[in-house]
Amino acid sequence: MALFLCADLGTTSLKAALIDSGGRIHSHARIPYRDPPVSAGPGPLAASSWLAAFAAALDSLVPPDDTPPSALIISGGGPTLVPVDAAGESLRPLHWFEGPPPLEGAASLFLPKVKAFMENAPGEFAKTRLFFSPQEWLSWKLGAEPVTVLPHKGYEPYYWDGEQREKLGIRGDLFPPYVTMGAVIGELKFPAELAPAGHARRAGFLPAGVPIVAGPPDFIAALIGTGALAPGRACDRTGSSEGINLCAAERPALDPAEPAPGEPGRPRVLPHAVEGLWNLGMVIDRSGKLLDDYLAAAGLNRRPCGELINEFLASPSHPGKKILETMGRSFCRALDDLAAWGFPAGELVLSGGQSRTPRWNQYKADISGRVLHAPEVADAELAGNAVLGAAALEGGGVAETAAKMIRVKESYYPRP
């Protein structure tokens, strides 16, 4: 079977895995970024930290029978942008968590950042030749052509188009040309940064010439990696924040304004990973961050998180149990709000670090009354990247390929 090297650039760490075309995971690595965080949030200070973390992941991953990967696919968080100057040097990233707010009348998730950069840092903006998203930047550093990866054409207004750019006075030549996710965008050229003295093994494991497949934003990769690709299917993406996503056949007529007092929270509506379908998203801002902060304050953050969750759930009076109850109530509230708008989710596919703890999965199933499925590959972004790699090299549609590759490890049914 083909083997895919999949990587995802998260906010605080890089995740990577070797996944075969049957959907089985052979090796996994999570590499925290070494650069100090920026003052406004948890992300790396420099784009070079992504390349360093990728190099460290190559040292950690163990391929089966020394099989080299058939393709490399990278996804990343957004909307973050990396300005690159004419000499190819990368300036400090414009991270998603640093704002600015959306612009009135603009659908683009990226142009507000460019506009603010142009106004607040004119000297740096004048040096900029191209803007990349994180996964596009890392793919480019590894040998890909400079491109902007669209999930599909329906996403173009949410990136940039001529009308929006002209209104904001932003030049079009600052953005690489569009390609659709899953396209082959180059071959690995193995830059010198990946093969310093003492790490020649990296070149043997990942030889030059491996195809680089265009990876999407992490949110899109996760939808693919949970198989939530048909109307009515839903997933629960966990991490520092949590997102519940439901696939809809038609775009719902929801007022984008803030909900009135007492009104259920509105889902965020965006095009789906599958063109013609729509995604309804409910975001729980803190979720895992709430638990992380508690563990750090209590001096427990060096112990395995799953072990602690089991301990808290077994001890009703433990202060950690109250944290878990708060997280669980937020999960239920988001599902209830989604149902209140006419979009109930009776079953969800889980993803992220929380989904690795069976007792926590059962607790969430019990309190929400929903059926939850934990897939074999817990990091849905990596699973989605593998699906895109298989579809690119073997032919076939993304939904059909996902149906063959996404494997449920265990299901959790609510107990009365």
Tens-place pLDDT, residues 144-190: 999 999 999 999 999 999 999 999 999 999 999 999 999 999 999 87
The torsion defined by the Cα of 206, 212, 216 and 219, in degrees rounded to 10, comes to -20
In angstroms, rounded to a whole number, what is the distance separating the alpha carbons of residues 240 and 235? 16
pLDDT for the residue 206: 81
Put residue 341 in one of left, alpha, beta given phi > 0 → left and psi -120 to 50 → alpha.
alpha
Q: Rounded to two decimals, what is the model's pTM? A: 0.91
The two domains 3-215 and 221-412 share their CATH topology (first three levels equal): yes
Cα-Cα-Cα-Cα torsion 204, 64, 355, 369, nearest 10 degrees, comes to 140
Residues 6, 15: Cα–Cα separation, whole Å: 8
Domain boundaries, the chain: 3-215, 221-412
Among 131, 142, 140, 49, CA closest to 94: 131
Given the structure tokens 């680089």, which residue do they identify? 212
Exposed e or buried b per residue across 150-187, where buried means at least 16 C-beta atoms within 10 angstroms of its C-beta: bbbebbbebbbeeebbeebebeeebbbeebebbbbbbb
Low-confidence spans in the chain with pLDDT less than 70? 35-43, 195-204, 255-262
Task: Judge whether 176 and 146 are in contact, CB under 8 Å.
Answer: yes
Q: What is the pLDDT of residue 377?
A: 94
Burial of 359 (0-12, 13-18, 19+ CB in 10 A): middle
Token pair of 375 as six digits: 């897939």
pLDDT at 38: 64
Helix axes 398-405, 218-225, angle to 10 degrees: 60
- Yes or no: domain 3-215 corresponds to CATH 3.30.420.40: yes
Task: Give the pLDDT score at 240.
Answer: 78
Largest Cα span, the chain: 63
Q: Write the CATH number of the domain with boundaries 221-412.
A: 3.30.420.40
CA distance 227 to 224: 5
- 365 with 252: CB under 8 angstroms? no
Residue owning tokens 């040097």: 89
CA 153 to chain centre: 20
Q: What is the structure's pLDDT at 190?
A: 74
